[in-house]
Amino acid sequence: MQQVFLKLLEGQVSVPVMPLAYLYRAVRNASLNLRRNLQPAVEIGDRDTWLVSPDGNAEEALSVQAALRDLPEEQRETVSLKFGEE
């Protein structure tokens, strides 16, 4: 809640039309963001397969995984989001 009030006091946010509704939403969003950011990342081993090749070729899936691991975080996230979207 402190983060939300600090933003209001510092003038980073204009005065909302419905202040109570804004406060509830802002605190909820800040809590969800904090919870998401504190979740530990799962380590995946070099030989663990989390991708599946359409033709069942495990070696191909592992090579794609290795290539994804070599990408910078931002690019890897973009590719992962695109895969999930299909």
Cα(84)–Cα(82) distance, rounded to whole angstroms?
A: 5
Averaged over 69-78, what is the pLDDT? 85
Q: List, for residues 21-47, the tens digit of each pLDDT value.
A: 888 888 899 888 888 877 666 666 666
Domain map (residue ranges) of the chain: 2-38, 45-86
Question: Each residue of 53-62: pLDDT tens digit?
Answer: 778 777 887 8
Q: What share of the chain is helix, strand, coil (3-state, %, to 5)?
A: 65, 0, 35
User: In the predicted model, what is the mean pLDDT of the chain?
Assistant: 79
DSSP 71: S
Inter-residue contact 19 to 38 (CB < 8 Å): no
pTM: 0.42
